[in-house]
Amino acid sequence: MSGFENDITIGATMAQTQSSSQGFSLQMFGKPTIVLAHVSFKAAALFFYFFANFFTSSFIVQFLVILTLLSMDFWTVKNITGRLLVGLRWWNFVDADGNNHWKFESAKDTSKFPAIDRRVFWLGLVAGPAAWTFFVVTAFLTLKFEWMIVALLGALMNLANLWGYLRCRWNSTEQMTSYFQSWAFLNVLRRAQAPSPQQFQNPAFSA
């Protein structure tokens, strides 16, 4: 825990104090290199899974390449991008008695993390498990069980990071569950209160 917030600005550029330029550019992010690292390994693993047969016909080679990319993504997100983009970190250790302890940490000052960096982090964190889950279902329906196992590994590794950072965001599972229940309730309430198209109809055209 000591030193958790040290060097929290690694990868930052002067762009975080400037307004966003026209069009898309890495310079619009506060930490462009860290954002790129957060996205690149996820994209590389998904890309190779989808186009693996274009590179090699050996399933063993395909499996090893995808597993390597997934491992690199898992390690990078768990140890680097989460801390530098949103100020969160989760980890575990084994004490002298052999007991496993999980730690979920969060930075005290969130103003150090630009909003656009945080959005990309959470978007990638959610999109990864969603994409791999889709591949699991697709492989199962097409009876490609060896590829279903590969996709299942990807889904589990991405879900592990998602769960860890959700626990960092909230102090307990009860708080996390309460937040999502409140969010779902508010969304249902907004939809129920939204005016129907008939309310905007011009009376001159009504029957």
pLDDT band at 14 (very low <50, low <70, confident <90, very high): very low
Name the residue with higher pLDDT: 6 or 175: 6
> Whole-angstrom Cα distance, residue 125 to residue 161?
7
Name the residue with higher pLDDT: 87 or 110: 87
Count of C-beta atoms within a 10 Å radius of residue 49? 21
Q: Which amino acid is at 120?
A: V
CB 38 within 8 A of CB 121: yes
Given a cut of 90, is residue 46 above it in pLDDT? Answer: yes
> Whole-angstrom Cα distance, residue 33 to residue 25?
12
Q: What is the pLDDT of residue 82?
A: 93
Coil, strand or helix at 103: strand
Q: What is the pLDDT of residue 96?
A: 82
Name the residue with higher pLDDT: 205 or 170: 170
**What's the predicted TM-score (pTM) here?**
0.74
